Structure 1
Amino acid sequence: MSEAVDKIRAWTRETEQYTPVEWNRLPEIYLYMDQVLTYMNKQLAPFERSDASSLITSSMINNYVKDGVLPRPEQKKYSREHLAMLTVICLLKQVLSIPDIDMLMKDLLSTESNANMYDRFCAAQTAALQNVCKRVDEAIPEGEAALSRLAIELSIEANARRTASERILSELSATRKENKK
């Protein structure tokens, strides 16, 4: 097999073992921005395209706070709730707009606690990753052509799911606006 296939195999092995940090294992102490960035970058490493990329920066966090997507930190210190919400934001922003993520999180948090919302998110993320890794593992023995076919299939599925998510959120938003009138 090629070096690329070996790297793909290594990625699936690492990703199959990945599970987001459970709510009760998130840091209980408040963290400053630099500590948040270090913590989050470590947690999100399996989702980065390469070692040179980063899914979160201090500017992003500041913008999420400014836009009301993330609550203001207390005296420049971030809590467990912030870390959970940042995890959700960073992973969903790959497929949804920030306003859609904001609406979705506010909807979910209106009916359940931060801990329950986050734990459900983590369970769904873990199941989805394991499913994808299984499909990649099944394609590896067939070679690079099979992996290319799988890449296009996964891309098409991701686009279809993003489209469905956006439609659902758009219709829910329109209905809520109409009900407020």
Structure 2
Amino acid sequence: MEDASERIRRWAKAGEDTALPDWNELPTIPLYMDQVIFYLGENLRFFERDGQSSLLTSSMINNYVKTGVLPHPEKKKYRREHLAALLAVCMLKQVLSIQDIKTLLAGEELSEELYNLFLTTHTAALQETCVTLAENCDTGENLKQKALRLAIEAYAKRAAAERILCELGRDTAEAGKPEKKRQEAE
């Protein structure tokens, strides 16, 4: 029978070759909600905690549109830009608040350039983590200690990202104030 270390090693090895779709691999024809859920579900399956809990539902998508994280679909159809944004949101919401993601995306369509930056960074971080994790399993490192170290690193990086987005949000709010109010505030 396979133990936890072997299952984790197998998962990590699979993660070394896992990547979200490139911009040009995203569907070019607009999709309806159920098609979006299916397409993104297939692409996000590796990241689900237990392989059964979905990272995206139609209610989530509707809420992202209502809160301005995602632009409105056109005639109930979602374009490539929507799919790219949803892939990014699904990953980012694991560590950032929806408000921080909204600040990051600014409620606009996710451009090819920003998606490529997200994709490159995501792929590199996933591969680095999975390679290290597989090596740890091979050498017999204590998995609880590894989980603790990964969680603390994630926390520290999340705190730094939140601070950056908080300050960017303040700058955006200040830029939105009329000039007279800004001068009074100074």
Alignment TM-score, normalising by the size of structure 2: 0.89
Q: Distance in 2 between matches of 1:22 and 1:55?
A: 19
**Greater Rg by CA:** 2
* Unpaired stretches in structure 1, ≥5 consecutive residues: none
Q: Distance in 2 between matches of 1:168 and 1:72?
A: 27
Identify which of 122, 126, 146 aligns with 2:123: 126
Q: After the TM superposition, which residues 30-179 of structure 1 pair with which residues of structure 2 at under 5 Å, given as runs?
A: 30-106=30-106, 114-143=111-140, 146-179=142-175
Deviation, structure 1 residue 174 = 1.8
Amino acid aligned to 1:72? H
- Superimposed CA distance per residue, residues 3-61 of structure 1 (whole angstroms, 9 cap, x where no aligned partner): 21121111111111011100011000111111100001111111110111110000000
* Unpaired stretches in structure 2, ≥5 consecutive residues: none
Q: Distance in 1 between matches of 2:95 and 2:41?
A: 19
Q: Distance in 2 between matches of 1:67 and 1:178?
A: 21
Higher helix share: 1
**Corresponding residue SS for 1:91:** helix
Deviation, structure 1 residue 171 = 1.6
Q: Distance in 2 between matches of 1:172 and 1:32?
A: 34
Q: Distance in 1 between matches of 2:16 and 2:132?
A: 11
Two-structure CA RMSD over aligned residues (Å)? 1.8
Q: Distance in 2 between matches of 1:54 and 1:73?
A: 21
Q: Distance in 1 between matches of 2:35 and 2:20?
A: 18
In the alignment of these two chains, the number of paired residues is 177
Amino acid aligned to 1:40? L
**Corresponding residue SS for 2:104:** helix
Q: Distance in 2 between matches of 1:165 and 1:141?
A: 32
Q: Distance in 1 between matches of 2:43 and 2:134?
A: 23
Alignment TM-score, normalising by the size of structure 1: 0.91
